[in-house]
Chain A
């Protein structure tokens, strides 16, 4: 549903130009047509996009030790991260990593505001990619606006379909790559080419592809405004010493048009020429000159836009700039504040702890299960025998041979006597062993300790306790 009404939102776009109001899933809103802007921060963002999308799309294709370097193998319940293999028992590391990630978000938000939103958030990154495809097919901002208002024609249909083809193809490839992090991507690609993709792989490829298409092509700034939880609470990390994208009101006002070469103060004006470029480039469609607004994702496009105008007018740059509230009030900015110190210290401690914990992580694990069917079995020799299943986990990069030992009160005998098991890299080996003891020489139930040791490295050892049962006297 589209209807055309005169522009009501001040500054967007110049009053008198009709605005397309789109009935969206969330609320009626004026469609935002961000203008392309070059400049320092745009270059920085483009760099971030290339690096991040490059990592995302290339990572699943990188191999490490004959397997995919980064693979979250859900069916096998193992996560491969280059040389490391994580098991469900290592869930603490994942939680730990998430805590580190959120703390760094707090830390960087407290110092520099919403840098995450402006440069690194997947929403920003994919929206920019989709916008680029839109520019390639439909042209720049003015052309896009004109095209949307023009009646349907062959040319309009061609441009719109070209855009959709690019979008859908890119979104589908994104969905495929996403699934490639969970299911070996080379096999996945072969299945796609043979049209033999499994039902769930198909479902998740389409699901993630549709999510990419919807979020980056369709919802865009509305994700940031209405859907993002971080956008709602990020202001809690802000204070007067946080860097924000801001308009220097004292320098800019009163705004107004003027000829080049005119000294602003001589004609009673500030430095703002009211060119509205800062509004046109804004991906969320706000006017930064109204002050800090929760919609602002700190992408700094308005800084680039304003700087280009300041350069042309021969005024100093920075009418719109990254600044803190204190610096705008001509007070000094305090970088080291209690919240920054607390976030920073916690972040350092947790990161150091994580690195140490991963480095010291034992690449061997042991679980012992007592036979479920019988507590013990009496042998002719007068011994009681218990049967156990040892689950020996080799999280190491290479296969290992583990020797089993058992210890506990009384004389415990292991069968087979010198049990040793070859466990391939990244596998769990189920080994059946029997333990015997003179039936009447000890308690009816006692705790015993199992131990597995790598035969070529005595430091590589895992222990686990189990119960041993014998008949009661």
Chain B
């Protein structure tokens, strides 16, 4: 529980910064149009939110892996 909270919290901080930086330079709207061909409707709000959750998951995975690899043998 303690490690999970630590990993989630730190990855949240980094993912927030990463999302801001990423979407300042990349407009996800074309991706939304591409998804439209598959019948999925995704506005910018959806893509930003999914982007953030994706970054969060990514950072959490990295953090968890680091902790797991560095645990005492």
State whether A27 touches B24 (Cβ < 8 A). no
Residues from chain B with a CB closer than 8 A to the CB of A27 are: 2
For residue B54, CB closer than 8 A to chain A, the reply is: no
Number of interchain pairs (Cβ within 8 Å): 32
Contact stretch, chosen from A10-18, A198-206, A357-365, A465-473: A198-206
CB distance from B55 to the nearest CB of A (A): 15
State whether B24 touches A91 (Cβ < 8 A). yes
For residue A25, CB closer than 8 A to chain B, the reply is: yes
Residues from chain A with a CB closer than 8 A to the CB of B5 are: 25-26
Q: How long is the Cα–Cα vector from A74 to B2 in the complex, in angstroms?
A: 34
CB-nearest residue of chain B to A90? B24
CB-nearest residue of chain A to B52? A204
Q: Which of A74, A88, A201, A227 is within 8 Å of B25, CB to CB? A: A88
For residue A75, CB closer than 8 A to chain B, the reply is: yes
Counting chain B residues whose Cβ lies within 8 A of the other chain, the interface size class is 10 to 19
Residues from chain A with a CB closer than 8 A to the CB of B48 are: 74
Counting chain A residues whose Cβ lies within 8 A of the other chain, the interface size class is 10 to 19
Q: How long is the Cα–Cα vector from A203 to B43 in the complex, in angstroms?
A: 15
Residues from chain B with a CB closer than 8 A to the CB of A204 are: 49
Q: How long is the Cα–Cα vector from A229 to B20 in the complex, in angstroms?
A: 19
CB distance from A89 to the nearest CB of B (A): 9
State whether A88 touches B24 (Cβ < 8 A). yes
Q: How long is the Cα–Cα vector from A259 to B73 in the complex, in angstroms?
A: 60
Mask of B47-73 contacts with A, CB within 8 angstroms, 1/0: 011000000000000000000000000
State whether A200 touches B25 (Cβ < 8 A). no
State whether B24 touches A94 (Cβ < 8 A). yes
Q: Which of B9, B20, B27, B43 is within 8 Å of A227, CB to CB? A: B9
Given A25-B2, A27-B2, A204-B49, A74 and B44 contact (CB-CB distance below 8 Å): yes
State whether B13 touches A229 (Cβ < 8 A). yes
State whether A77 touches B44 (Cβ < 8 A). yes
Q: How long is the Cα–Cα vector from A183 to B48 in the complex, in angstroms?
A: 13
CB distance from A221 to the nearest CB of B (A): 16
Residues from chain A with a CB closer than 8 A to the CB of B1 are: 25
Residues from chain A with a CB closer than 8 A to the CB of B44 are: 74-75, 77
Which parts of A7-58 form the interface with B (CB within 8 Å)? 25-27
State whether B46 touches A200 (Cβ < 8 A). yes
CB distance from B44 to the nearest CB of A (A): 5
State whether B45 touches A200 (Cβ < 8 A). yes
State whether A74 touches B27 (Cβ < 8 A). no
Q: How long is the Cα–Cα vector from A75 to B32 in the complex, in angstroms?
A: 12
Of the candidates B13, B24, B27, the one having the most CB atoms from chain A within 10 angstroms of its own CB is: B24
State whether A198 touches B45 (Cβ < 8 A). yes
Q: How long is the Cα–Cα vector from A412 to B13 in the complex, in angstroms?
A: 53
State whether B45 touches A77 (Cβ < 8 A). no
State whether A91 touches B25 (Cβ < 8 A). yes
CB-nearest residue of chain B to A203? B49
Given A200-B45, A200-B49, A227-B9, A26 and B25 contact (CB-CB distance below 8 Å): no
Hey, which bits of chain A sit against chain B, CB under 8 A? 25-27, 74-75, 77, 88, 91, 94, 183, 198, 200-201, 203-204, 227, 229
Hey, which bits of chain B sit against chain A, CB under 8 A? 1-2, 5, 9, 13, 20, 23-25, 27, 43-46, 48-49
With A94-B24, A183-B45 given, can you name 18 additional A-B contacts, CB distance below 8 Å?
Answer: A25-B2, A25-B5, A26-B2, A26-B5, A27-B2, A74-B23, A74-B45, A74-B48, A75-B44, A75-B45, A77-B27, A77-B44, A88-B25, A91-B24, A94-B20, A203-B49, A227-B9, A229-B13
